[in-house]
Each structure stands twice: as structure tokens, then as C-alpha cells.
Amino acid sequence: QRVTQPEKLLSVFKGAPVELKCNYSYSGSPELFWYVQYSRQRLQLLLRHISRESIKGFTADLNKGETSFHLKKPFAQEEDSAMYYCALSFAGFQKLVFGTGTRLLVSP
């Protein structure tokens, strides 16, 4: 079980579209999450694939064919600047494996 986030840093201007990439490897049915860590704050859940929701304008679609769960937002805001972790849960939520994280920096 592995989660890959190829970009360590993603720097965009305010209002630009954002896509944070996440690929996973898991033979079973994956449960995928995006967690976010704002400056000086603890990790918190941003969204999970099973709920198919949009949080703070972010969406993520599970693509089983490409084994991807990319995080997208059409118009980035400065307050989106944070560290984003893609995570894979399995064994009935018994384990959660994190990717290496992508730092998103949104400039004015």
C-alpha cells in the first residue's frame, strides 16, 4: 500500500486553478482522504472520496483506472496555502497511510 504525491511544492497565483496530484497503489477497495495542515495548526480532514463532497471549493474524484485521487480547485485563494496530504485507508479503517505531502503556496 503506497500513496504518491509527486509534487513537493506547488506555487500558484490567486485565482488560478489548482490540482494536487495523488496516486495510490492498493489491491483492494481503497478509502481515500485528503488532509490539510495550515500553518501552526494540526492536521485536519479536508475531504473523503466516499462522501463526494466539495469542501472550501476543493473536490477530488477517485479514478480507479488511473489509481488517482487528485485534489482540485478552480480558483485558488491565499488562505488555501497549506500542506496537503493524500491518505489511503484500508483494513476497515484500521490503517491510514499518508503520501509525502504537497505544499501549496498561493501568492497574491
Partner 1 sequence: GAVVSQHPSRVICKSGTSVKIECRSLDFQATTMFWYRQFPKQSLMLMATSNEGSKATYEQGVEKDKFLINHASLTLSTLTVTSAHPEDSSFYICSARDRAPNTGELFFGEGSRLTVL
Please give the residue ranges that form the binding site for partner 1 (CB under 8 A): 31, 33, 35, 42-45, 48, 50, 85, 89, 93-101
Q: Contact, 58 vs 47, CB < 8 A?
A: yes
Count Cβ atoms within 10 A of the Cβ of residue 76 and give its class: 0-12 exposed, 13-18 middle, 19 or more buried: buried
Q: In the complex, what is the shortest distance from the CB of residue 40 to partner 1, in angstroms, rounded to a whole number?
A: 9
Q: In the complex, what is the shortest distance from the CB of residue 74 to partner 1, in angstroms, rounded to a whole number?
A: 25
Q: What is the DSSP letter of 94?
A: T
Q: Based on CB atoms, which residue is closest to partner 1, 16 or 45?
A: 45
Q: Based on CB atoms, which residue is closest to partner 1, 42 or 66?
A: 42
Q: In the complex, what is the shortest distance from the CB of residue 24 to partner 1, in angstroms, rounded to a whole number?
A: 14
Among 53, 33, 54, which Cα is nearest to 44's?
33
